[in-house]
Amino acid sequence: MAKAVKKQALGRGLSALLNTSVEDIQSVKDKNADKVVGSIVEIQLDAIEVNPYQPRTYFNEDALRELASSIKELGVIQPITVRKLEGNKFQVVSGERRFRASKLIGLQTIPAYIRLANDQEMLEMALVENIQRKDLDPIEIALSYQRLIEEIKLTQEELSARVGKKRTTVTNYLRLLKLDPIIQTGIRDGFLSMGHGRALINIEDPAKQLEIYEKIIQHKLSVRQTEQLVKNLREGIEGPSKPNKAKNVQKIPAYIQKGMIDINETLGKKIEVKFVGNDKGKIVIPFDSEEDFNRIKKLLQ
C-alpha cells in the first residue's frame, strides 16, 4: 500500500489565524496585517500563482519529480514565501520548485510565509533571492543583475551591496551579456565556462568571437589557452591555429555534443565529456553534496 501524504504541521489555515477575512489586507497598516505578515500559514495551492519575475526559466522535470517524492514522504519541510494579492490570492516570491512539486503529487495546501509587497519590491525580492542560489548559470545571474539595474534603477555600487558581491564581480557578470547570443547559449549549456566568456569579451568583432568559440568547442581549449589565443589575435600574431597542448585533442562529434545537452537536461547538471577519438572517451558528472550524489545515482539506475 502506498504511503499516505504526511499532514503538514508547520502552519495553521487562514481561517484559524483570523476571525475575519484577509481579502482587505493590502498593506501593513490594515487591520489584522500584523497577524498575517511573517506568519507560517497553510494556503490553498489553487489560491497561489507563479511569480512572473522568476529569473529561472527552466525547471528540470526529473528533479521536480524527485523533490515531489521527497515531499510525499516528509512533507514540505521549508515553507515557501508568498506575497498577498487582492482578495484571497497570493503569488510565489521564493520556493517555486516546492510549489510545483507539491502540485505534482496533488497536495491541496502548502505552508507559506506571507509578505506584502508592491511589484517593484516583488521583483527585487525575487531576483535577489534567486541570485543567491548556487544552481543558476552565469548568464541567468547576469540577466538578473541587469534587471535589477534597469527596473529597480540601482547603480552597480548599490547592486553589489544588495547581493553581497564585489562591484568587480557584478561588472564581470554584466559584461557577459555583450557576447554574441550563440556564445551566451554555449555558456548556459555548459560548453563554456565564465572564464572563457570573460576572455572572449576582449574581442570586439562578433565574427572573430564566434571563430574562437568554435575552436574552444572543437579542441576543448582551457581558459588559459583561450586567453592566449585572444591575446595573440589582438596583438596580430598569427601563430598556430590552436595552442600546442590542443594539437592532439580530437574534435567532439556532433552526436556527442547533442547527447551532452540531453544528459545535462536529464541530470540537471553540466557534465563534461573527454573524447579521445575512435568513439571512445569518458563522462564526468559533478555533484554538490551527498544528497545531490544520491539523486544522480537514482536517476542513473
Instruction: Return the pLDDT at 8.
Output: 40
Boundary residue ending a domain (117, 140, 164): 117
- Same-domain check for residues 111 and 81: yes
Burial 243-254 (b: 16+ CB within 10 A, else e): beebeebeebee
Burial class (CB in 10 A: 0-12, 13-18, 19+), 273: middle
Q: Is 66 a catalytic residue?
A: no
- Same-domain check for residues 229 and 268: no
Of residues 42, 66, 96, 124, which has the active-site annotation? 96
CB of 98 within 8 A of CB of 67?
Answer: yes
Is 145 within the bounds of a domain?
no
Which of 1-5, 136-140, 151-155, 269-273 is least confident? 1-5
How many CB atoms within 10 Å of residue 241? 10
- Same-domain check for residues 20 and 59: yes
Residue in the block written with cell 489584522: 32
Confidence label for 58 from pLDDT (cuts 50, 70 and 90): low
Give the integer Cα–Cα distance in Å for 102 and 217.
Answer: 39
* Residue 233 domain boundaries: 193-248
Boundary residue ending a domain (95, 117, 139): 117
The predicted model scores a pTM of 0.46
Is 125 within the bounds of a domain?
no
Boundary residue ending a domain (79, 94, 117): 117
Instruction: Return the pLDDT at 105.
Output: 92
The mean pLDDT value for 273-287 works out to 77
Q: Which position has the higher pLDDT, 113 or 11?
A: 113
DSSP characters for 279-295?
A: TEEEEE---SSHHHHHH
Q: Which position has the higher pLDDT, 223 or 4?
A: 223
- Same-domain check for residues 233 and 262: no
Which cell numbers hold the place of 262?
540531453
The answer on pLDDT for 33 being more than 60 is no
The mean pLDDT value for 52-70 works out to 76
- Same-domain check for residues 59 and 93: yes
Instruction: Return the pLDDT at 123.
Output: 65
Which of 40-54, 124-138, 183-197 is least confident? 124-138
The answer on pLDDT for 259 being more than 90 is no
Give the integer Cα–Cα distance in Å for 56 and 70.
Answer: 22
Total number of domains constituting the chain: 3
Instruction: Return the pLDDT at 176.
Output: 92
User: Does the CA dihedral 218-224-229-230 come out positive or negative?
Assistant: positive
